[in-house]
A and B are shown apart, each in its own frame.
Chain A
Amino acid sequence: EAGVTQFPSHSVIEKGQTVTLRCDPISGHDNLYWYRRVMGKEIKFLLHFVKESKQDESGMPNNRFLAERTGGTYSTLKVQPAELEDSGVYFCASGASGYSYNEQFFGPGTRLTVL
């Protein structure tokens, strides 16, 4: 079974440009999460989808970030316009549904560098 995949693995853009990150979760996983690690600091939660709906978007830093999850499958995270402080590693994770704890499976991350 394929794991969580993310594309691209690395992106370098100029300040003010737009970048779109993509995450393909494990097939059948209703829960999809985005996290970000900036400059070696802690990994911070951005938002959580359940199927196509945003369950919790309390971690989104500002309105330059837009996340979507088309048809409850893959998800995109768009940053427009990008700022220097957006540089970091963006992780996606997916998990199955259920009352008890379901492990979050992480992708390898997308390293975003804004110059």
Chain B
Amino acid sequence: GNSVTQMEGPVTLSEEAFLTINCTYTATGYPSLFWYVQYPGEGLQLLLKATKADDKGSNKGFEATYRKETTSFHLEKGSVQVSDSAVYFCALSYTTGTASKLTFGTGTRLQVTL
């Protein structure tokens, strides 16, 4: 079946540091890939997505590139801020036909300090 593997957290960084959160997936065919973020006390929000190989999703300074050859979708940000402290979830879904379920990774907690 489909699965998503994320790096273990928590990740603790100083403000303005470079962030990478690794995500790899196992799936048949051509899934779409997503990063969701959950800020404290809130629901999950879609951060960015990529629907085909070599696509780059980007939002709020975060980027991730859909690498089919390595089955990866690593999240990166050049300079993190304290406000980026949250839990980040990598996910996949098949987006053709009827809307379908998301398969998530375990989540990676990011803590950014001054």
Taking a contact as CB atoms under 8 Å apart, the answer to whether A42 and B4 are in contact is yes
Which size bracket describes the interface of B in this complex? 20 to 34
Closest to B96 in A: A99
- Stretch binding the partner chain, chosen from B43-51, B60-68, B70-78: B43-51
CB of B43 within 8 A of CB of A43, answer: no
Q: How many A-B residue pairs have CB under 8 A?
A: 64
Contact of B101 among A33, A50, A91 (CB under 8 A): A33
A sample of 10 more A-B contacts (CB under 8 A), given A43-B89, A99-B97, A106-B36, is A33-B101, A43-B104, A50-B98, A56-B101, A91-B43, A91-B44, A104-B46, A104-B99, A106-B45, A109-B43
Which residues from chain A sit less than 8 Å from chain B, CB to CB? 3-4, 31, 33, 35, 37, 40-45, 48, 50, 55-56, 59, 91, 93, 95, 97-104, 106-109
